[in-house]
Amino acid sequence: MEVPPKPVVRRFAAWGFENESLRPSAQLLEWLRTVVGSGEPVPRVAPGSMAVINPADLPPLPAPTSTAAMDRLQHSRGQGLPDILRLRFGSSVHPPDAVCRPGTAAEVESVLRACDRHGVRVIPWGGGTSVTGGVNVPPGLGPTISLDLERLSGLEGLDERSHLATLGAGTMGPAVEAALAPHGFTLGHFPQSWELSTVGGWIVTRSSGQESLGYGRIEDLMAGVRVVAPAGRLDLLPLPGSAAGPELRAMVTGSEGRLGVVTSATLRVRPLPERKVVQAAFVRSWEDGLETVRELVQSGVPLTMIRLSDPAETRVALAIGLASSRWSPVVQRYLRARRIGDDACLLLYGTDGPRETIGSILSCARSVCRRHHGVIVGSGPGRHWLADRFRHPYMRDGLLDEGYATDTFETAAVWSGVEELRGAVSAAVAGALDPWGEATALLCHVSHPYRDGTSLYFTFFYRTTGDCDENVARWAAVKRSAMEAIVGAGGTISHHHGVGAWHAPWLEAEIGALGRALIADAARRMDPRGILNPQVLLDPTDRLEA
């Protein structure tokens, strides 16, 4: 049977590809109407009707360069909620003056040299999926190009003996796995943006995939990296371990384009697992759930993923079909019979490998769940989750059509601080729109647990109005409240989305003035005139409403 090729045309002002969408279910809309009221659908202004200012004059660039209005528009913003709001309303559109597409590291080098000489700002572009303003073109900075790395794509080398693959920075998730699979390998890095995001983007934002419990974060996967900067190249060859001074690879991960452009990386790959299984259980309460997750991780059960939804997210998951809508009423009856009530939390846990190993790992996991009064419901919800896991971001666009805005943010803390952190964030988000007399809805889950703590991932909702600035101001109010709560409760300002422009005001609260200065020094060393991504990471001005 022929499998039709995946559509590759990206949607404008929306997540993902043309011909794909995910409509919110009636139950979800009903829940939102009850919690936050009815909103006004957000329009979709056709990009053709947007007034796009003419590009500034640029020096000749030694790589293919486009000034087509649509190309520029498509590179004007990332995928944050305010980006989508601005683009749908057609308001505050600041496209780059050109989109430049170098095909080699040497071309990247030449382009950076030309831009450095002529004072042209450069915003590196991988998959354009930043949700932190990390690829946005700030107005008023003078000539600016978007440096699209899509041509630096593909498998450049595979060292089968060392389980190392060298990949172009612009290689997207599916292309990574498609290149590795014929050789029997997988990278195992599956962030939710996997279908659109790139190797280089993962590295510079310190991405963490959904199976990070088994495969590690991108910084664990990266053995070597090549960075091209105005000041020269930084070639950090693959090494399994070293004590040769401070680990500069860790300065590249999370550098968000400020230290240079990642052109390729050598990543640790693993044999393709024979099988991948995700099972589900319900626990009676969030507290029981956290204890289950903590024990699973601290006792070293070799799972590759764990996800624990709080009671609200669990109810929504049951409503929108995450836990398989067809048998959701059956599940709910069964759970009630097992004394799993309204505070029930959905727990997913998965692993991969040979069939026989998987069996014994899952059996260990089930014992831990049962010790915490968990009720195992099998692999159905897990299969559903695996099948749908990259589709969830599509729902935002469907919700905007219905008058609801939604966004996500994430943090992490040590286990002893998780409850305080979740409480502080919940309270902050709940009251964030009080000045408008508006309500918010908030869901939370654990998706990246560690022996010493866990990430917390939050999804919030509010209703939209017909005014773009007003919608962005509400979003900004929620973000600010959440960030203050996170910093106050000792959480990290980001677990895997990165800093970008929008978290930058709080970076100093986390790493101190001296810490921020260390990163700024590195940026200055690699990019003395500051042409690279100038308002990201280090620039602490609050741009949440930009």
Binders of a copy of itself among 296-335, rule CB under 8 A? Answer: 298, 300, 302
Residues in 218-237 that interact with a copy of itself by CB under 8 A: 219, 223, 229, 231-237
- Of 272 and 335, nearer to a copy of itself (C-beta) is 272
* Residue 8 contacts a copy of itself per CB under 8 A: no
3-state secondary structure of 433: coil
Query: How far apart are the C-alpha atoms of 414 and 425, rounded to whole Å?
Result: 15
Name the β-bridge partners of 32. none
Residue 61: what residue type?
A: L
Q: How far is the CB of 368 from a copy of itself (least distance, A)?
A: 14
* Sheet (strand 222-229) strand order: 155-159, 164-168, 261-268, 222-229, 232-236
- Which residue is associated with the tokens 């069939």? 355
The single residue among 238, 488, 530, 540 that binds a copy of itself, judged by CB under 8 A, is 238
Angle subtended by helix axes 468-488 and 81-89, to nearest 10: 170
- Which residues fall within 8 angstroms of residue 472, CB to CB, at 6 or more apart? 82, 85, 86, 544, 545
Site string for a copy of itself, 173-212 (x = CB under 8 A): --------------------------------xxxx---x
Residues in 248-307 that interact with a copy of itself by CB under 8 A: 248-256, 259, 268, 270-271, 294, 298, 300, 302
Residues binding a copy of itself: what is the number (CB under 8 A)? 89
Query: How far apart are the C-alpha atoms of 120 and 112, rounded to whole Å?
Result: 9
Residues in 77-116 that interact with a copy of itself by CB under 8 A: none
The single residue among 161, 337, 387, 437 that binds a copy of itself, judged by CB under 8 A, is 161
Query: How far apart are the C-alpha atoms of 102 and 106, rounded to whole Å?
Result: 8
- Of 170 and 353, nearer to a copy of itself (C-beta) is 353
- Of 81 and 223, nearer to a copy of itself (C-beta) is 223
Q: How far is the CB of 187 from a copy of itself (least distance, A)?
A: 13
Q: How far is the CB of 377 from a copy of itself (least distance, A)?
A: 27
Q: How far is the CB of 300 from a copy of itself (least distance, A)?
A: 8
Query: How far apart are the C-alpha atoms of 200 and 257, rounded to whole Å?
Result: 10
Q: How far is the CB of 162 from a copy of itself (least distance, A)?
A: 4
- Of 18 and 159, nearer to a copy of itself (C-beta) is 159
Contact assessment for residue 395 and residue 476, using Cβ atoms and an 8 Å cutoff:
no
- Of 283 and 412, nearer to a copy of itself (C-beta) is 412
Query: How far apart are the C-alpha atoms of 404 and 33, rounded to whole Å?
Result: 9
- Of 421 and 428, nearer to a copy of itself (C-beta) is 421
The single residue among 163, 391, 392, 480 that binds a copy of itself, judged by CB under 8 A, is 163
Cα separations in angstroms, 139 against 14, 83, 125, 142, 254: 22, 14, 17, 8, 24
Q: Is 316 exposed, middle or buried (0-12, 13-18, 19+ CB in 10 A)?
A: buried
Contact assessment for residue 355 and residue 273, using Cβ atoms and an 8 Å cutoff:
no
| Helix H or strand E segment including 468 | helix 468-488
What does the buried/exposed string (b/e) look like for 425-458 if buried means 16 or more CB atoms within 10 Å of the residue's CB? Answer: bbebbbebbeeeebbbbbbbbbbbbbeebbbbbb
* Contact stretch for a copy of itself (CB under 8 A) within 44-52, 99-107, 159-167, 368-376: 159-167
- Of 90 and 260, nearer to a copy of itself (C-beta) is 260
Q: How far is the CB of 264 from a copy of itself (least distance, A)?
A: 16
* Contact stretch for a copy of itself (CB under 8 A) within 48-56, 82-90, 161-169, 320-328: 161-169
Residues in 43-62 that interact with a copy of itself by CB under 8 A: none
Residues in 343-372 that interact with a copy of itself by CB under 8 A: 353
Q: How far is the CB of 423 from a copy of itself (least distance, A)?
A: 16
Q: How far is the CB of 412 from a copy of itself (least distance, A)?
A: 5
Residue 321: what residue type?
A: G
Q: How far is the CB of 313 from a copy of itself (least distance, A)?
A: 21
The single residue among 20, 71, 156, 247 that binds a copy of itself, judged by CB under 8 A, is 247
3-state secondary structure of 47: helix
- Of 268 and 372, nearer to a copy of itself (C-beta) is 268
Query: How far apart are the C-alpha atoms of 125 and 75, rounded to whole Å?
Result: 8
Write a three-state SS string for 311-355.
HHHHHHHHHHCCCCHHHHHHHHHHHHHCCCCCCCEEEEEEEEECH
The single residue among 245, 337, 342, 387 that binds a copy of itself, judged by CB under 8 A, is 245
3-state secondary structure of 45: coil
Q: How far is the CB of 524 from a copy of itself (least distance, A)?
A: 8
Residues in 477-536 that interact with a copy of itself by CB under 8 A: 490, 492-499, 503, 507, 510-515, 517-519, 521-522, 524-526
The single residue among 108, 164, 172, 199 that binds a copy of itself, judged by CB under 8 A, is 164
Q: Which tokens sit at 192?
A: 């939710």
Torsion of CA 249, 250, 252, 258, to 10 degrees: -150
Q: How far is the CB of 98 from a copy of itself (least distance, A)?
A: 28
Residues in 437-456 that interact with a copy of itself by CB under 8 A: 448-455
- Of 59 and 512, nearer to a copy of itself (C-beta) is 512
Q: Which tokens sit at 515?
A: 């810490």
Residue 8: what residue type?
A: V
Residues in 407-436 that interact with a copy of itself by CB under 8 A: 412-417
